A = this chain, B = another copy of it.
Amino acid sequence: MANKARVNDLNGRGDMQKLFNQPADMVDEAIVGFVKCYHQYVAHTACPRTLKYKSAPISGKVGIVTGGGSGHDPAFMGYLGKNMLDAVAIGDIFTPPSEESFYHAFMEADAGKGVVCLFGNFYGDVVNARSAARRAKAQGVEVRLVIANDDVATDDPSTRRGSTGETLLWKIAGAAAALGYDLNQVESVTVQALSRMRSIGIGLASCIIPDVGRPNYLIERGTMEIGVGHHGQSSMDTCKLKTASETADIMIAEVLRDMPLEAGDQVMVILSGLGNTMLSELHILYSRVCDVLQKKNVDIYKALVGNYFTSLDMMGATLTIFHLNEELKRLLDHPGYAVSLTNYITP
């Protein structure tokens, strides 16, 4: 409420040139608009902050769930779909979903085979998901939590955040569940997948949090941040603004420092914009990523370049490299559909 009062002092808008009615209503109104747009594929549930794939729960299949704060379009609700997410729990902007919202997601996704929830390593999210899992268990629904920590920006893996790699976990888990993997097997293959992916973010301009009305910090012009977080966190490493090629080199080096690759390895690459990044810029960056990996004889099996996991209107990008094996390739290639992951459909 303190924030709200502050926004009102600024005529309800702060410094924001944005399309909304009231800042406090943005998340709920965006959910309603999203469902109106994709009503063939997604549906509301009894909880306004829980959405489900229209056909969920799907009989005979482990349920697949995620949850997280808003502000990461098209995550999370954009990944609901066939052989993808069955339900999502949605928080306020950069704020964990409530226990209630996670609980409803678990119950909506469960078809009697249990649920795997794959989400990012943020304190409040973990607390609320754990609590909701206990509540579901009391109702006879077993929920396994797989906590993504693919962001290499911090040195200690136990405190690492989830990043764009989460989208691949949902794809892997969705395919495994569709192929009849049981609860243990879905959990195990996604834990394995997680251990084979790393992400790094770079930021050139921060984002405006609508309920505050101003950027939470500023990236000085002529500088950039290496290891920037998905919640607009400042990173520990500010440097002079680099060229796209220098930036790609740094991103690849950060990932490979933590997960070395050898000649002959096959990978999937996601290069995601953080919101206010043009596709052209991502293609320029991708061109260099491609060249560097090719020079190391690392084969790019599949690539996604676009806005897959953003941070409001931040300017920057994340690079995710996913080291594949035969099982993971098979799961990636299994047909599936989500409104924001249509490039998985082979024409």
Contacts and interface: CB of A to CB of B under 8 A. Distances in A.
Interface in A216-274: 219, 221-222, 224, 241, 243-245, 247
Nearest to A294: B36
A216 to B, nearest CB: 16
A244 B15 contact: no
Interface stretch (A144-152, A156-164, A312-320): A312-320
B281 A20 contact: yes
A37 interface: yes
B275 A276 contact: yes
B305 A30 contact: no
Nearest to A337: B347
Given A287-B29, A342-B343, A280 B73 contact: yes
What's the number of copies of this chain in the assembled complex? 2
Contacts of A285: 19, 33
A13 B241 contact: yes
A276 B279 contact: no
Nearest to A11: B222
Interface stretch (A60-68, A74-82, A123-131): A74-82
B17 A81 contact: no
Given A37-B303, A78-B279, A221-B15, A21 B241 contact: no
A295 interface: no
A17 B303 contact: no
A284 B222 contact: no
A134 interface: no
Contacts of A245: 21
A32 interface: yes
A17 B242 CA distance: 10
B347 A343 contact: no
B342 A18 contact: no
Contacts of A26: 280, 284
Contact of A277 (B19, B221, B339): B19
A204 B342 contact: no
A87 to B, nearest CB: 18
A347 B21 contact: no
Contacts of A277: 19
A239 to B, nearest CB: 13
A199 interface: no
A290 interface: yes
Closest 10 CB pairs of A and B: A33-B283, A342-B342, A33-B287, A337-B347, A73-B279, A30-B280, A19-B281, A17-B204, A276-B276, A30-B283
30 contacts: A11-B222, A13-B241, A17-B219, A18-B278, A18-B281, A19-B244, A19-B277, A19-B284, A19-B317, A20-B243, A20-B284, A21-B284, A27-B280, A29-B244, A29-B287, A30-B279, A30-B284, A33-B282, A33-B286, A33-B287, A33-B305, A37-B290, A41-B347, A70-B280, A73-B279, A73-B280, A81-B347, A275-B276, A339-B343, A342-B345
Given A17-B219, A73-B280, A78-B279, 12 more contacts: A13-B241, A17-B205, A18-B204, A18-B278, A19-B284, A19-B317, A20-B244, A21-B243, A36-B287, A37-B283, A73-B279, A278-B312
